Amino acid sequence: DVKVTQSSRYLVKRTGEKVFLECVQDMDHENMFWYRQDPGLGLRLIYFSYDVKMKEKGDIPEGYSVSREKKERFSLILESASTNQTSMYLCASSFPTDYSNQPQHFGDGTRLSIL
Amino acid sequence: AQTVTQSQPEMSVQEAETVTLSCTYDTSESDYYLFWYKQPPSRQMILVIRQEAYKQQNATENRFSVNFQKAAKSFSLKISDSQLGDAAMYFCAYRSGGNQFYFGTGTSLTVIP
């Protein structure tokens, strides 16, 4: 089974801090994604990566950056955390477009609170 | 960007009864894939069922089945013999030939004992 592991289930940080959320997958997936999940808004894509060192902006990239130095690891960075970034963050991975019938696989999520 | 709409923010069903969750999508593509995901409270999002647009036959997985209407761009999920463990947030998702998946806003399903 595919395993997507997020480094923390719960995280509390202060405004202005630089925050790192880590995600690791073990299925050799080319694609990795970071979503933000808020009630009533569903999943909104922050960034995704289709290869090492490659990234593309999603729908809400402002205030975030990402890093993918190795195929299995995709990091989300909040450059200067703000209270409006309090949310649930989901990491996902999938095979590329040649396997479009394959679903995404998700981590458990990180519930981030910015005080 | 593709649009996926789930018009029912909340639904409830009696245990052992049947419930249908609706999903519509907007696309100009002819070849694409549709998915239903389940997210139990404080637990991981998992795949429930998938449908390839080129297949006319509706997908079925045990108590879960879909009603796929390609012309109407509709993809509803039917849960038969509902169980307490079916209580969750359900998300409909779309993928065409690209890398991105597009999600609806979710339907929260309550199962009443």
Instruction: Give per-residue pLDDT as tens, A50-87.
Output: 999 899 999 999 999 999 999 999 999 999 999 999 99
Average pLDDT, chain A: 93
* Average pLDDT, integer, range A25-39: 94
**For residues B80-93, b (16+ Cβ closer than 10 Å) or e, as one string?**
eebeeebbbbbbbb
Rounded distance between C-alpha atoms, residue A103 and residue B78, angstroms: 19
* Vertex B91: Cα angle to B88 and B97 (nearest 5): 150
Listed as ranges, residues in chain B with pLDDT below 70 are 1
Q: Which amino acid would we find at residue A90?
A: L
- Whether the predicted pLDDT of A45 surpasses 70: yes
pLDDT at A2: 65
Inter-chain touch B33–A45, beta carbons under 8 Å? no
Q: Which residue of A has its CA nearest to B96?
A: A100
Inter-chain touch B99–A97, beta carbons under 8 Å? yes
pLDDT at A101: 77
Q: Which amino acid would we find at residue B65?
A: S
Q: Which amino acid would we find at residue A114?
A: I
Task: Report percent pLDDT > 90 for chain A.
Answer: 84
pLDDT at B78: 98
Greater pLDDT, A103 or A75: A75
Q: How many angstroms away from the CA of A41 is the closest CA of chain B? A: 5
Residues 6+ apart with CB under 8 A from B13: B19, B79, B82, B86, B109, B110, B111, B112
Inter-chain touch A90–B97, beta carbons under 8 Å? no
- Whether the predicted pLDDT of A94 surpasses 80: yes
Rounded distance between C-alpha atoms, residue B53 and residue B58, angstroms: 10
pLDDT at A79: 94
Task: Please tell me the number of Cα atoms within 13 Å of A56 on its side-chain side.
Answer: 13
Query: Which residue from A68, A67, A76, A82 is spatially nearest to A16, judged by alpha carbons?
Result: A82
Q: Is the Cβ of B43 closer than 8 Å to some Cβ of chain A?
A: yes
- Whether the predicted pLDDT of A103 surpasses 90: no
Residues 6+ apart with CB under 8 A from A72: A24, A25, A26, A28
Q: Distance of CA B2 to CAs B18, B54, B57, B94, Å?
A: 30, 18, 24, 8
* Average pLDDT, integer, range A76-103: 90
